[in-house]
Structure 1
């Protein structure tokens, strides 16, 4: 509401209602219109028409660095592509995935200014989506929350999220996704995509149109996606249904309801190491569906190429899979009580169930098979409410609100028998939850209460100068109950059980925007942020969660453990005309109480626990420019540089690790993004590319993956009306145009201090996709 600065046209596209240049709702009364008109005219005069934009908008009028991604930009990608992958074009943002869609959720990795996605905030129509981790405990990925076709736009705050964002993890910025409203016209859309690796995606959306004079309307949509892995056996498959209902009310108010159901079944790409890359090559994959090869490998009989590696047992497994099903729903009342006062309330609920499997050669089955299937079954039940009042009084816009959520997260680990060789095969592990369970080492249940209060004021000192100031208070109380455990199966350890509270009563933010000349403005922002303790099961050793330790280690550290916090400082300059849009910004971040899994004690029997290992200091600069020299032509370029280093060395069971002054892993210091889009008559064409410098994959910077340049190209032709069909369009996209072999996701299994960890995934080779779509 009052925190995000957007233009009226951008807000109208996303939400179907106008907003002022400081982001607050525009009132529908005569007084409200009179107050809003000068701001709207100023914004419209300074920026180009919305229809000509693709990479838009550098947050004109915002008191912090913001970029808005429009529906036009989303439409350039292959249908079904993750919206987070589209954000990869923005300065300071790095998105990686092992597949061209971003559909393979385990490999989905987003960094922004050095912070990982577990340290950023994500919402959909204000509803919190958690930290976007694969094994999420308080949300779900954006691809499972909404079909990409139904996303109207994304607002990205690169430095720090707005005070009113519902997130317990936004240390380094926030991404707010917006869903499209139903159309006023009755009809629908059908879309069919074909492509490499037997890609087949169907999307159908039906709009009711206005059902009465008040504008009551809704839509329902369904998407089915199926594609094979680009290397090895297995596939990614998903079904998704969305529905949205809109009831306009008096004084420009509205009642909106949204529903999402999704189901996915996915096979894993194999995690790589530098050793595997150099000995076997980039196409190393798991054995599925060759059960014999996996069985013999567990017995020490390896294929010749794999036998050359330093660790042949982990070079390939039979399979790793994931199966998830989600339900998400929300209802929002956006009520203009009068021309100065708005009350917005959202109620939401979310349920998640499913399981992940790994066929392990480390735990044999009781029947004598050297393999077994390790299964984990995370589940989420959560519900919450957000409510905020916005009051416009003179030159002030006051905004105050609360957010409350109660969530339950459950997870257990199980081992199931596999058949003896010659007596059957394991088959497809995504078909059903494994049977023939012979052990249940642990099962846990967490319950978490989250409360956030915020208050802020946007004060327009002069027509060209405004200041936003406020704070939020946050309390997150989490605790787990160990439902079942067998210490003998957990190395003789008791699973950690206990409660932790992350709280801070005063997390302030101050920002300002000064339009000192026509088309030119300066902005700055200072904020203090906190991240709650993440949750995950015993011995997961990926997320820096306190509960991954044993009971002794948890008890020893819980008394002094503090949640991660930071201070973010940023400032910049914007220039906006119909011909040129430019941005130059600089920032500094001081990250404190960094939590990391560390092994201490004797090297023969170390204790692994989460510890506070100090801080990180980041300094960076970003520059972006969009040129529109001709009608229909848009040329975009951006460059970003970030220098993020650790402040201290770390003491472990192996000794003192020299991390002080080392660059953080997984994030490049230099990135370049560029694109050219051209629209001529019924043709639309674009080409985009991005360069990433090298990335380190250890904390001491002794191992790295090389930088790369990746290019994509696409074209779309509008046939117009054909018989009963309207807006018939054909599009064609090529991903990885030059067929570059490159490392995509890094650190998906965490990072080690030294060595060559098995912790990265290869990117997909050149891929081709074509789509036919039409309205009716």
Structure 2
């Protein structure tokens, strides 16, 4: 079953209120940014070409000769420990694809999902060098996106923040440095998304895609072009993705509006505003166990089929009358439910003033706001409805309302590039879960409307739990990049963090959980780290050669979530919080990295080695069923990670490229884990869910207006249990794509003179139709086989081979 759920009631702020507040917020901040360039987001700028610094460091930007140009090479461009992935590479994937799936082609990064595009935000999962997504900092145009978790508590998934077609690039910091990033969770690095600017010339894009399982993706964008001599311009876009879910009757639906406004000021300053509205409605596939895989095969799912027959099957299962073979499972009641779904609406945006105060001094300000309401649902056979139905709809209903401001000054003098900046955010998060009635069946007749997991739920008959979180975060950074000679850059900086979270309004329903005692409430924790250093160097010696190293310390502030849903020290009973409070410390990591890069027209090669000491690891210790586990959060010690990435790209003839990378990550637990009276031998065991070995390759060829590629990846075996006695086997998977561009359509017909390019593309996902375990740990990981690991539903199955075609017209 899938533990999703929610809708917003009572004290939770409605989206209409969010819309009014954000509209007022954007209107007032556009005006304030225009007249007062105070407070600025710490934004990365490329340094002047004559004195180029590593991209992971701040400097004054060189003015682009063609700011609309999007990189036209698939080859990655990297400096130090930072790598950039361009829109060109993203555009070669299936239209509407989660850009993190494209990042998964990079060495040391693993992306997993249960659908071809990575749209299901429950199953979408990314790791980098052993760190999971909650430990990777993410921003969009410097605005923090928080922790990428299902039921995010301090941000939103990048997929819901921007349409993939509107991304200019993604800057990836492989080490944990980047002290200027607005994040308090970047133990394992960062992903910084940058949106495309409006074009100087009026135009737009219309694209339509279609594919397997009745999948459709529509994208429309209009660019105003320069509206006056000062260069005022904007774009607005709409995207709609509606995809059938393989092996089930549900679908994945995401619609989104993006808009960006840019007002140049003088020759080298501008004010810009970005706005995003996203509406996500999607059914969820079944969480699987090894017991289910062996007994039911690859195609089992929830009972939902959009008809009364599906509800009737779930109704009978809730009464203990299971479909064929379900009675052979050790836990048939947990195996499947009627349905599970996700409904999330986000409003997100901000205003930035990027001002050159002099030839050497730049002041950048970003103010932003974000509101989210969501309902994540599942049909529980363990909590009957008051009307006599043997199940109810359990709906988790988290809501977010957050506002923040970033400010930075960047000053270039002599051989120094200096930077100083701050970030402040206030976040209000509510984590309610409620129960709603499902209809009864009498003499085979449904006694009420048939509802689904993506319905809008209201009027619950019971509250199951609630906690209200209030978090204030303040960070500051100072940095300097010193270049004693033209090709050597020495960097030093540090970050300070002060984060305070308080929890109140705690409630728990003892009839659901059988809990004894109240939920943690009226309590708080503070993380204060005044000095988190970052030291690096970058030396470009000889022709085409580059050496670099990077050393940094980082911290992860405490997570927040609903009861028993994560390793949050707050999401437990008051008694468990009191017992663990003296042992809880924020997670920290020291990362040491060294690398070499060679880049020439025919051959490119990289070598990146790292060591990370991850301390005070917080872990949710669970036992029992997935429905109602016994849960506590404990400090279980550290993890030591030693790894290396090696890459080689060959371009023997014009247009042909062969890209290969090998990654090895020896990430093991430093301590054994004790749960109650049981000691689990985890010391020296590879971390869960992340492989020790990965191999990735891409063969691509461009000829005139045609392009084709094939990707091949090997993901090694992964530990499913913390003790490593249950593993998911390794697998090979391949994707393929091709594009053909017809340029200047006006030469064929004068009536088409308004059009620029017509792009026709074809993509094949999972070319060899490989069956494999994809996402793991989305519902947690069991300790060992002796604790019921084989029946624990903690992984998702991968999508089979699927085909997609698209047509895009640029004008």
- TM-score interval w.r.t. the shorter chain? over 0.9
Name the counterpart of 1:318. 338
2:763 pairs with 1:740: no
Name the counterpart of 1:456. 479
Name the counterpart of 1:132. 148
Q: Return the alpha-carbon distance in structure 1 between the equivalents of residues 227 and 340 of structure 2.
A: 48
Name the counterpart of 1:46. none
Cα–Cα, structure 1 residues 372 and 2, in superposed 2: closer, same or farther, change >3 Å?
closer
Name the counterpart of 1:12. none
Deviation at 1:463, TM superposition (A): 1.3
Structure 2 unaligned blocks of 5 or more: 1-40, 746-751
SS of 1:699 mapped into structure 2: coil
Is the 8 Å Cα contact of residues 279 and 309 (structure 1) preserved in structure 2?
A: yes
Name the counterpart of 2:23. none
Deviation at 1:600, TM superposition (A): 10
Q: Return the alpha-carbon distance in structure 1 between the equivalents of residues 47 and 156 of structure 2.
A: 29
Indicate which of 571, 580, 598 corresponds to 1:548. Answer: 571
The one-character-per-residue Cα deviations of 1:594-638 (angstroms, maximum 9, x if unpaired) are 00123699xxx9973211110000100101122222222222111
The one-character-per-residue Cα deviations of 1:666-710 (angstroms, maximum 9, x if unpaired) are 001000111012111111111111110101110000111111111
Deviation at 1:364, TM superposition (A): 1.2
Alignment of 1:586-597 (within 5 A): 586-597=609-620
Indicate which of 782, 800, 805 corresponds to 1:752. Answer: 782
Name the counterpart of 1:529. 554
2:387 pairs with 1:367: yes
Is the 8 Å Cα contact of residues 48 and 61 (structure 2) preserved in structure 1?
A: no
Cα–Cα, structure 1 residues 80 and 3, in superposed 2: closer, same or farther, change >3 Å?
closer
Cα–Cα, structure 1 residues 288 and 391, in superposed 2: closer, same or farther, change >3 Å?
same
Deviation at 1:440, TM superposition (A): 0.7
Is the 8 Å Cα contact of residues 496 and 538 (structure 1) preserved in structure 2?
A: no
2:755 pairs with 1:725: yes
Deviation at 1:333, TM superposition (A): 0.7
Name the counterpart of 2:516. 492
The one-character-per-residue Cα deviations of 1:367-389 (angstroms, maximum 9, x if unpaired) are 22111111110100001011000
The one-character-per-residue Cα deviations of 1:735-757 (angstroms, maximum 9, x if unpaired) are 00011111110000010101222
Is the 8 Å Cα contact of residues 42 and 406 (structure 2) preserved in structure 1?
A: no
Name the counterpart of 2:401. 381
Indicate which of 475, 498, 520 corresponds to 2:545. Answer: 520
Is the 8 Å Cα contact of residues 70 and 87 (structure 2) preserved in structure 1?
A: no
Structure 1 unaligned blocks of 5 or more: 10-17, 41-48
Name the counterpart of 1:503. 528
SS of 2:604 mapped into structure 1: strand
Cα–Cα, structure 1 residues 7 and 389, in superposed 2: closer, same or farther, change >3 Å?
closer
Cα–Cα, structure 1 residues 472 and 223, in superposed 2: closer, same or farther, change >3 Å?
same
The one-character-per-residue Cα deviations of 1:486-519 (angstroms, maximum 9, x if unpaired) are 4444423311111011121110010001123221
Q: Return the alpha-carbon distance in structure 1 between the equivalents of residues 655 and 799 of structure 2.
A: 31
Name the counterpart of 1:691. 714
Is the 8 Å Cα contact of residues 378 and 453 (structure 2) preserved in structure 1?
A: no
Deviation at 1:330, TM superposition (A): 0.8
Q: TM-score, normalised by structure 2?
A: 0.89
Cα–Cα, structure 1 residues 509 and 426, in superposed 2: closer, same or farther, change >3 Å?
farther
Q: Return the alpha-carbon distance in structure 1 between the equivalents of residues 184 and 633 of structure 2.
A: 19
SS of 1:170 mapped into structure 2: coil
Q: Return the alpha-carbon distance in structure 1 between the equivalents of residues 629 and 393 of structure 2.
A: 27
2:93 pairs with 1:69: no
Q: Return the alpha-carbon distance in structure 1 between the equivalents of residues 374 and 380 of structure 2.
A: 19
The one-character-per-residue Cα deviations of 1:193-229 (angstroms, maximum 9, x if unpaired) are 0000100111100000011112110000001110111
Cα–Cα, structure 1 residues 643 and 431, in superposed 2: closer, same or farther, change >3 Å?
closer
Alignment of 1:278-289 (within 5 A): 278-289=294-305
Q: CA RMSD in A?
A: 2.2
Alignment of 1:556-635 (within 5 A): 556-598=579-621, 608-635=631-658
Is the 8 Å Cα contact of residues 561 and 612 (structure 1) preserved in structure 2?
A: yes
Alignment of 1:218-229 (within 5 A): 218-229=234-245
2:723 pairs with 1:707: no
Indicate which of 683, 687, 696 corresponds to 1:660. Answer: 683
Q: Return the alpha-carbon distance in structure 2 between the equivalents of residues 50 and 300 of structure 1.
A: 58
Name the counterpart of 1:45. none
Q: Return the alpha-carbon distance in structure 1 between the equivalents of residues 159 and 700 of structure 2.
A: 26
2:490 pairs with 1:470: no
Alignment of 1:332-351 (within 5 A): 332-351=352-371
SS of 2:756 mapped into structure 1: strand
Deviation at 1:643, TM superposition (A): 0.6
Q: Return the alpha-carbon distance in structure 2 between the equivalents of residues 516 and 486 of structure 1.
A: 65
Is the 8 Å Cα contact of residues 60 and 410 (structure 2) preserved in structure 1?
A: no
Deviation at 1:145, TM superposition (A): 0.1
SS of 1:349 mapped into structure 2: strand
Query: RCO higher in 1 or 2 (8 Å CA, sep ≥ 6)?
Result: 2
SS of 1:447 mapped into structure 2: strand
The one-character-per-residue Cα deviations of 1:394-430 (angstroms, maximum 9, x if unpaired) are 0111110000000000121111121111234663434
SS of 1:545 mapped into structure 2: coil
Q: Return the alpha-carbon distance in structure 2 between the equivalents of residues 165 and 312 of structure 1.
A: 46
SS of 1:516 mapped into structure 2: coil
Q: Return the alpha-carbon distance in structure 1 between the equivalents of residues 385 and 663 of structure 2.
A: 51
Count of residue pairs brought into register by the alignment: 743
* Higher mean C-alpha displacement, 752-761 vs 394-403: 752-761
Name the counterpart of 1:480. 503
SS of 2:744 mapped into structure 1: strand
SS of 1:85 mapped into structure 2: helix
SS of 1:295 mapped into structure 2: helix
2:263 pairs with 1:263: no
Name the counterpart of 1:294. 314
The one-character-per-residue Cα deviations of 1:9-59 (angstroms, maximum 9, x if unpaired) are 9xxxxxxxx98655545467xxxx9xx99xx9xxxxxxxx985520312x2
Cα–Cα, structure 1 residues 545 and 477, in superposed 2: closer, same or farther, change >3 Å?
same
Is the 8 Å Cα contact of residues 43 and 364 (structure 2) preserved in structure 1?
A: no
